[in-house]
A and B are shown apart, each in its own frame.
Chain A
Amino acid sequence: MRILSYLGAGVAAAVFMLAVGWWRSVQTSPPDLPLRLGQMAFEMTDHRGNRVTPQDLLGSPAMLFLGYTYCPDVCPTTLSDITDWLEALGDTARDMRVVFITVDPSRDTPEAMAEYVSYFDPRVEGWSGTKGNLDRAVAALRARYERVGDDLEEYAMNHTANVFLFRSDGSYATSIDYHEPREFALPKVRRALNEPMK
Protein backbone atom coordinates (compact mmCIF):
# COMPACT_ATOMS: atom_id res chain seq x y z
CA MET A 1 0.00 0.00 0.00
CA ARG A 2 2.78 2.39 0.96
CA ILE A 3 4.76 1.42 -2.17
CA LEU A 4 1.71 2.19 -4.29
CA SER A 5 1.32 5.67 -2.84
CA TYR A 6 5.04 6.36 -3.43
CA LEU A 7 4.53 5.20 -7.00
CA GLY A 8 1.48 7.45 -7.34
CA ALA A 9 3.44 10.44 -6.06
CA GLY A 10 6.27 9.63 -8.47
CA VAL A 11 3.92 9.46 -11.45
CA ALA A 12 2.26 12.71 -10.41
CA ALA A 13 5.67 14.39 -10.11
CA ALA A 14 6.72 13.10 -13.53
CA VAL A 15 3.48 14.33 -15.14
CA PHE A 16 3.99 17.69 -13.46
CA MET A 17 7.57 17.97 -14.76
CA LEU A 18 6.42 17.07 -18.26
CA ALA A 19 3.69 19.68 -18.07
CA VAL A 20 6.21 22.30 -16.93
CA GLY A 21 8.53 21.31 -19.77
CA TRP A 22 5.71 21.58 -22.29
CA TRP A 23 4.65 24.96 -20.92
CA ARG A 24 8.24 26.23 -21.07
CA SER A 25 8.64 25.11 -24.67
CA VAL A 26 5.41 26.86 -25.57
CA GLN A 27 6.57 29.98 -23.78
CA THR A 28 10.03 30.18 -25.30
CA SER A 29 9.44 28.76 -28.79
CA PRO A 30 10.91 31.25 -31.26
CA PRO A 31 8.40 33.58 -32.91
CA ASP A 32 7.41 32.83 -36.49
CA LEU A 33 9.76 34.19 -39.11
CA PRO A 34 8.55 36.56 -41.80
CA LEU A 35 7.24 34.93 -44.97
CA ARG A 36 9.21 34.95 -48.20
CA LEU A 37 8.43 38.03 -50.28
CA GLY A 38 7.01 35.74 -52.97
CA GLN A 39 4.46 34.35 -50.50
CA MET A 40 3.23 37.71 -49.24
CA ALA A 41 -0.11 38.88 -50.59
CA PHE A 42 -0.71 42.62 -50.50
CA GLU A 43 -0.59 45.63 -52.78
CA MET A 44 0.10 49.27 -52.05
CA THR A 45 0.88 52.57 -53.75
CA ASP A 46 4.44 53.87 -53.64
CA HIS A 47 5.42 57.52 -53.18
CA ARG A 48 5.56 57.96 -56.97
CA GLY A 49 1.95 56.82 -57.31
CA ASN A 50 2.73 53.35 -58.74
CA ARG A 51 0.91 50.18 -57.70
CA VAL A 52 3.45 47.94 -55.97
CA THR A 53 3.53 44.42 -54.54
CA PRO A 54 6.20 42.51 -52.60
CA GLN A 55 6.79 40.43 -55.74
CA ASP A 56 8.12 43.58 -57.43
CA LEU A 57 11.07 43.40 -55.03
CA LEU A 58 12.22 39.98 -56.27
CA GLY A 59 15.57 40.17 -58.02
CA SER A 60 17.10 42.68 -55.60
CA PRO A 61 17.97 42.44 -51.93
CA ALA A 62 15.41 44.40 -49.93
CA MET A 63 14.91 46.04 -46.55
CA LEU A 64 11.37 46.49 -45.25
CA PHE A 65 10.33 48.37 -42.16
CA LEU A 66 7.24 49.92 -40.61
CA GLY A 67 6.78 53.51 -39.52
CA TYR A 68 4.72 56.68 -39.99
CA THR A 69 5.56 60.25 -40.82
CA TYR A 70 4.00 61.72 -37.65
CA CYS A 71 6.68 59.86 -35.68
CA PRO A 72 9.38 62.44 -34.81
CA ASP A 73 11.80 60.18 -32.92
CA VAL A 74 12.17 56.51 -33.91
CA CYS A 75 11.21 56.65 -37.61
CA PRO A 76 13.61 59.38 -38.78
CA THR A 77 16.36 57.72 -36.75
CA THR A 78 15.73 54.37 -38.46
CA LEU A 79 15.72 56.02 -41.89
CA SER A 80 18.90 57.85 -41.02
CA ASP A 81 20.54 54.60 -39.83
CA ILE A 82 19.57 52.89 -43.09
CA THR A 83 20.97 55.81 -45.08
CA ASP A 84 24.27 55.39 -43.18
CA TRP A 85 24.36 51.62 -43.80
CA LEU A 86 23.73 52.08 -47.51
CA GLU A 87 26.56 54.58 -47.70
CA ALA A 88 28.92 52.27 -45.83
CA LEU A 89 27.94 49.23 -47.91
CA GLY A 90 28.65 51.06 -51.15
CA ASP A 91 28.51 48.80 -54.20
CA THR A 92 27.32 45.76 -52.24
CA ALA A 93 24.00 47.50 -51.67
CA ARG A 94 23.77 49.31 -54.99
CA ASP A 95 20.60 47.43 -55.99
CA MET A 96 19.08 47.34 -52.50
CA ARG A 97 15.38 48.18 -52.40
CA VAL A 98 14.44 50.03 -49.21
CA VAL A 99 10.75 50.04 -48.43
CA PHE A 100 9.20 52.14 -45.69
CA ILE A 101 5.63 50.86 -45.18
CA THR A 102 3.42 53.32 -43.33
CA VAL A 103 1.25 51.96 -40.51
CA ASP A 104 -0.76 55.20 -40.70
CA PRO A 105 -2.13 55.25 -44.27
CA SER A 106 -4.97 57.65 -43.43
CA ARG A 107 -2.48 60.47 -42.77
CA ASP A 108 0.40 59.10 -44.87
CA THR A 109 -0.92 59.46 -48.41
CA PRO A 110 1.50 58.77 -51.28
CA GLU A 111 2.05 62.55 -51.53
CA ALA A 112 2.94 62.81 -47.82
CA MET A 113 5.28 59.83 -48.20
CA ALA A 114 6.93 61.46 -51.24
CA GLU A 115 7.86 64.56 -49.27
CA TYR A 116 9.05 62.53 -46.30
CA VAL A 117 11.33 60.11 -48.17
CA SER A 118 12.89 62.97 -50.14
CA TYR A 119 14.92 63.83 -47.02
CA PHE A 120 16.69 60.46 -47.02
CA ASP A 121 18.64 58.18 -49.38
CA PRO A 122 17.03 58.21 -52.86
CA ARG A 123 16.65 54.41 -52.63
CA VAL A 124 14.08 54.79 -49.85
CA GLU A 125 10.55 54.11 -51.15
CA GLY A 126 7.41 54.97 -49.21
CA TRP A 127 4.53 52.52 -49.57
CA SER A 128 1.02 53.13 -48.30
CA GLY A 129 -2.00 50.90 -48.70
CA THR A 130 -5.51 50.29 -47.45
CA LYS A 131 -5.93 48.95 -43.93
CA GLY A 132 -6.65 45.47 -45.30
CA ASN A 133 -3.44 45.45 -47.32
CA LEU A 134 -1.47 46.94 -44.43
CA ASP A 135 -2.78 44.25 -42.08
CA ARG A 136 -1.73 41.53 -44.52
CA ALA A 137 1.73 43.08 -44.91
CA VAL A 138 2.22 43.37 -41.15
CA ALA A 139 1.03 39.79 -40.60
CA ALA A 140 3.39 38.51 -43.32
CA LEU A 141 6.29 40.26 -41.55
CA ARG A 142 5.13 38.72 -38.22
CA ALA A 143 5.12 42.31 -36.97
CA ARG A 144 2.62 44.44 -35.06
CA TYR A 145 1.10 47.87 -35.05
CA GLU A 146 -1.54 49.58 -33.00
CA ARG A 147 -3.14 53.00 -32.94
CA VAL A 148 -2.88 54.89 -29.64
CA GLY A 149 -5.25 57.70 -28.73
CA ASP A 150 -8.67 58.76 -29.98
CA ASP A 151 -7.81 62.27 -31.09
CA LEU A 152 -8.40 62.59 -34.83
CA GLU A 153 -5.23 64.63 -35.35
CA GLU A 154 -2.84 63.79 -32.54
CA TYR A 155 -2.90 60.01 -32.21
CA ALA A 156 0.32 57.97 -32.26
CA MET A 157 1.07 54.53 -33.63
CA ASN A 158 2.94 51.79 -31.81
CA HIS A 159 4.78 49.62 -34.28
CA THR A 160 7.52 47.04 -34.71
CA ALA A 161 10.72 49.01 -35.23
CA ASN A 162 12.89 46.21 -36.68
CA VAL A 163 14.33 46.42 -40.17
CA PHE A 164 13.58 43.17 -42.06
CA LEU A 165 16.19 42.10 -44.58
CA PHE A 166 15.37 39.88 -47.59
CA ARG A 167 17.71 38.31 -50.15
CA SER A 168 17.17 38.88 -53.86
CA ASP A 169 15.29 35.56 -54.18
CA GLY A 170 12.80 36.89 -51.64
CA SER A 171 13.93 34.67 -48.77
CA TYR A 172 14.02 36.28 -45.34
CA ALA A 173 17.60 36.79 -44.15
CA THR A 174 17.57 38.56 -40.79
CA SER A 175 16.25 41.57 -38.97
CA ILE A 176 17.98 44.42 -37.22
CA ASP A 177 16.66 45.72 -33.91
CA TYR A 178 16.02 49.38 -33.40
CA HIS A 179 18.78 49.76 -30.82
CA GLU A 180 21.33 47.59 -32.60
CA PRO A 181 24.56 49.59 -32.93
CA ARG A 182 26.01 50.16 -36.38
CA GLU A 183 29.04 47.92 -35.71
CA PHE A 184 26.66 44.93 -35.33
CA ALA A 185 24.09 45.96 -37.91
CA LEU A 186 26.49 46.45 -40.81
CA PRO A 187 28.21 43.03 -40.72
CA LYS A 188 24.75 41.47 -40.36
CA VAL A 189 23.58 43.11 -43.57
CA ARG A 190 26.84 42.17 -45.35
CA ARG A 191 26.59 38.56 -44.23
CA ALA A 192 22.97 38.33 -45.33
CA LEU A 193 23.83 39.72 -48.75
CA ASN A 194 26.70 37.28 -49.24
CA GLU A 195 24.87 34.19 -47.99
CA PRO A 196 23.70 31.64 -50.55
CA MET A 197 20.01 31.96 -51.36
CA LYS A 198 17.49 29.70 -49.73
Chain B
Amino acid sequence: MALDMKTVLIASVLGLFSVLPLMAEQASQVTVTEPWARASIGSRPAAVYLALTNTSQAPATLTGLKADAAGHASIHRTSTDANGVSSMAPVGEIILAPGESIKLEPGGLHGMLMQMNAPLKKGTSVDVTLVFSDGTEQPVEFPVLGIAAKGPEG
Protein backbone atom coordinates (compact mmCIF):
# COMPACT_ATOMS: atom_id res chain seq x y z
CA MET B 1 0.00 0.00 0.00
CA ALA B 2 2.78 2.40 1.01
CA LEU B 3 4.67 1.39 -2.08
CA ASP B 4 1.62 2.09 -4.17
CA MET B 5 1.30 5.62 -2.74
CA LYS B 6 4.96 6.24 -3.46
CA THR B 7 4.56 5.04 -7.02
CA VAL B 8 1.59 7.26 -7.53
CA LEU B 9 3.49 10.21 -6.09
CA ILE B 10 6.54 9.59 -8.28
CA ALA B 11 4.36 9.05 -11.28
CA SER B 12 2.48 12.29 -10.74
CA VAL B 13 5.68 14.28 -10.11
CA LEU B 14 7.18 12.82 -13.30
CA GLY B 15 3.95 13.55 -15.07
CA LEU B 16 4.03 17.13 -13.91
CA PHE B 17 7.61 17.54 -15.13
CA SER B 18 6.74 16.16 -18.52
CA VAL B 19 3.71 18.43 -18.84
CA LEU B 20 5.46 21.63 -17.73
CA PRO B 21 7.84 22.01 -20.68
CA LEU B 22 4.95 21.28 -23.02
CA MET B 23 2.88 24.06 -21.54
CA ALA B 24 5.80 26.46 -21.73
CA GLU B 25 6.30 25.55 -25.36
CA GLN B 26 2.65 26.08 -26.18
CA ALA B 27 2.56 29.46 -24.50
CA SER B 28 5.54 30.72 -26.49
CA GLN B 29 4.78 29.10 -29.81
CA VAL B 30 4.17 32.44 -31.48
CA THR B 31 6.55 35.40 -31.26
CA VAL B 32 5.06 38.88 -31.34
CA THR B 33 7.01 41.85 -32.69
CA GLU B 34 6.21 45.49 -33.42
CA PRO B 35 2.85 45.75 -31.66
CA TRP B 36 1.18 49.17 -31.89
CA ALA B 37 -2.30 50.65 -31.69
CA ARG B 38 -3.73 53.73 -33.31
CA ALA B 39 -5.24 56.34 -30.99
CA SER B 40 -9.03 56.48 -31.16
CA ILE B 41 -11.81 58.99 -30.49
CA GLY B 42 -14.73 58.52 -28.10
CA SER B 43 -16.19 55.02 -28.37
CA ARG B 44 -15.23 54.77 -32.05
CA PRO B 45 -13.46 51.57 -33.17
CA ALA B 46 -9.71 51.30 -32.69
CA ALA B 47 -7.18 49.21 -34.62
CA VAL B 48 -4.16 47.29 -33.34
CA TYR B 49 -1.32 45.92 -35.45
CA LEU B 50 1.58 43.50 -34.94
CA ALA B 51 3.80 40.92 -36.60
CA LEU B 52 3.48 37.24 -35.62
CA THR B 53 5.92 34.41 -36.22
CA ASN B 54 5.20 30.79 -35.43
CA THR B 55 8.45 29.63 -33.81
CA SER B 56 7.15 26.15 -32.92
CA GLN B 57 7.27 22.89 -34.87
CA ALA B 58 3.48 22.69 -35.15
CA PRO B 59 0.93 24.87 -36.92
CA ALA B 60 -0.54 27.61 -34.72
CA THR B 61 -4.12 28.74 -35.27
CA LEU B 62 -5.12 32.19 -34.09
CA THR B 63 -8.86 32.10 -33.50
CA GLY B 64 -9.61 35.47 -31.97
CA LEU B 65 -8.84 38.36 -29.67
CA LYS B 66 -9.91 39.39 -26.18
CA ALA B 67 -9.68 42.91 -24.83
CA ASP B 68 -11.07 44.40 -21.63
CA ALA B 69 -10.89 47.85 -23.23
CA ALA B 70 -13.48 46.94 -25.85
CA GLY B 71 -16.97 45.48 -25.91
CA HIS B 72 -15.96 43.38 -28.88
CA ALA B 73 -12.58 42.43 -30.36
CA SER B 74 -11.90 40.50 -33.55
CA ILE B 75 -9.49 40.17 -36.42
CA HIS B 76 -10.52 42.08 -39.53
CA ARG B 77 -9.25 42.27 -43.05
CA THR B 78 -9.53 45.38 -45.20
CA SER B 79 -9.73 44.66 -48.89
CA THR B 80 -9.97 46.95 -51.88
CA ASP B 81 -11.71 45.69 -55.02
CA ALA B 82 -10.96 46.44 -58.68
CA ASN B 83 -13.14 49.57 -58.51
CA GLY B 84 -11.15 50.95 -55.58
CA VAL B 85 -13.94 50.23 -53.08
CA SER B 86 -12.59 49.35 -49.63
CA SER B 87 -14.40 47.12 -47.19
CA MET B 88 -13.67 45.50 -43.84
CA ALA B 89 -14.78 42.06 -42.74
CA PRO B 90 -13.99 39.74 -39.84
CA VAL B 91 -11.63 36.90 -40.75
CA GLY B 92 -12.05 33.43 -39.31
CA GLU B 93 -8.99 31.57 -38.15
CA ILE B 94 -5.49 32.49 -39.17
CA ILE B 95 -3.31 29.39 -39.49
CA LEU B 96 0.42 29.88 -39.22
CA ALA B 97 2.57 27.01 -40.47
CA PRO B 98 5.77 26.30 -38.48
CA GLY B 99 8.18 29.15 -39.19
CA GLU B 100 5.53 31.26 -40.93
CA SER B 101 5.14 34.98 -40.25
CA ILE B 102 2.26 37.35 -40.88
CA LYS B 103 1.87 41.06 -40.42
CA LEU B 104 -1.22 42.89 -39.30
CA GLU B 105 -0.72 46.33 -40.88
CA PRO B 106 -2.80 49.27 -42.17
CA GLY B 107 -4.88 48.44 -45.22
CA GLY B 108 -4.76 44.69 -44.58
CA LEU B 109 -5.25 42.59 -41.47
CA HIS B 110 -5.89 44.42 -38.21
CA GLY B 111 -7.16 43.75 -34.73
CA MET B 112 -10.47 45.59 -34.57
CA LEU B 113 -11.60 46.83 -31.17
CA MET B 114 -15.24 47.90 -31.14
CA GLN B 115 -17.47 49.50 -28.49
CA MET B 116 -14.49 51.03 -26.76
CA ASN B 117 -15.01 51.73 -23.06
CA ALA B 118 -12.68 54.72 -23.39
CA PRO B 119 -10.70 56.24 -26.26
CA LEU B 120 -7.12 55.03 -26.75
CA LYS B 121 -4.90 57.96 -25.84
CA LYS B 122 -1.57 58.49 -27.54
CA GLY B 123 1.31 57.61 -25.20
CA THR B 124 -0.65 55.00 -23.23
CA SER B 125 -0.97 51.31 -24.03
CA VAL B 126 -3.75 48.76 -24.43
CA ASP B 127 -3.70 45.06 -23.54
CA VAL B 128 -5.11 42.63 -26.07
CA THR B 129 -4.91 38.85 -25.73
CA LEU B 130 -4.35 36.56 -28.70
CA VAL B 131 -6.43 33.38 -28.45
CA PHE B 132 -5.23 30.18 -30.14
CA SER B 133 -7.17 27.07 -31.10
CA ASP B 134 -5.34 24.89 -28.53
CA GLY B 135 -6.68 27.11 -25.77
CA THR B 136 -3.47 29.04 -25.16
CA GLU B 137 -3.77 32.76 -24.69
CA GLN B 138 -1.00 35.23 -25.28
CA PRO B 139 -1.35 38.69 -23.75
CA VAL B 140 0.22 41.51 -25.77
CA GLU B 141 0.74 45.11 -24.72
CA PHE B 142 0.20 47.56 -27.61
CA PRO B 143 1.70 51.04 -27.25
CA VAL B 144 -0.78 53.64 -28.51
CA LEU B 145 0.61 55.92 -31.24
CA GLY B 146 -1.10 58.96 -32.78
CA ILE B 147 -4.14 58.75 -35.07
CA ALA B 148 -1.90 59.67 -38.00
CA ALA B 149 0.57 56.81 -37.32
CA LYS B 150 1.13 54.37 -40.19
CA GLY B 151 3.49 51.89 -38.60
CA PRO B 152 5.27 50.89 -35.37
CA GLU B 153 7.67 53.81 -35.83
CA GLY B 154 4.83 56.33 -35.97
A70 near B148: Cβ-Cβ < 8 Å: no
B149 near A80: Cβ-Cβ < 8 Å: yes
| C-alpha gap A119/B40 in the complex (Å) | 11
| 1/0 contact string of A66-79 vs chain B (CB within 8 Å) | 00011111101101
| C-alpha gap A160/B80 in the complex (Å) | 8
B107 near A74: Cβ-Cβ < 8 Å: yes
| C-alpha gap A160/B87 in the complex (Å) | 9
| C-alpha gap A144/B78 in the complex (Å) | 16
B41 near A74: Cβ-Cβ < 8 Å: no
B115 near A160: Cβ-Cβ < 8 Å: no
Q: Which residues of A contact B46 (CB under 8 A)?
A: 72
Question: Count of A-B contacts with CB under 8 A?
Answer: 85
Report if A154-B107 is in contact (Cβ < 8 Å); known contacts: A72-B44, A160-B85.
no
B88 at the interface (CB under 8 A from A): yes
Q: Which residues of B contact A198 (CB under 8 A)?
A: none
Q: Which residues of A contact B78 (CB under 8 A)?
A: 73-74
Which residue from B72, B86, B88, B150 sits with its C-beta under 8 Å from A80?
B150
| C-alpha gap A116/B113 in the complex (Å) | 18
| B88 to A, closest residue via Cβ | A156
| A76 CB to nearest chain B CB (Å) | 5
| Chain A, 68-99, CB within 8 A of any chain B CB | 69-74, 76-77, 79-81, 83
| B94 CB to nearest chain A CB (Å) | 17
User: How many residues belonging to B are interface residues under a CB distance threshold of 8 Å?
Assistant: 30
| C-alpha gap A22/B107 in the complex (Å) | 37
| C-alpha gap A77/B146 in the complex (Å) | 11
Q: Which residues of A contact B107 (CB under 8 A)?
A: 73-74, 77, 178-179
Q: Which residues of A contact B110 (CB under 8 A)?
A: 72-73
| C-alpha gap A173/B113 in the complex (Å) | 37
B83 near A73: Cβ-Cβ < 8 Å: no
Q: Offer 15 A-B interface pairs, CB within 8 angstroms, sorted by A.
A: A72-B45, A72-B113, A73-B78, A74-B86, A77-B106, A77-B150, A80-B150, A83-B148, A119-B39, A119-B147, A120-B148, A144-B85, A154-B72, A160-B85, A177-B80
Kindly list 8 other residue pairs between chains A and B, CB separation below 8 angstroms, not including A70-B44, A71-B45, A159-B86: A72-B38, A72-B110, A77-B107, A77-B150, A119-B147, A120-B148, A153-B115, A159-B85
B residues sitting closer than 8 Å to A (CB atoms) are 38-41, 44-47, 72, 76, 78, 80, 83-88, 106-107, 110, 112-115, 146-150
A residues sitting closer than 8 Å to B (CB atoms) are 31, 69-74, 76-77, 79-81, 83, 115-116, 119-120, 143-144, 146, 148, 153-154, 156, 158-162, 175, 177-179
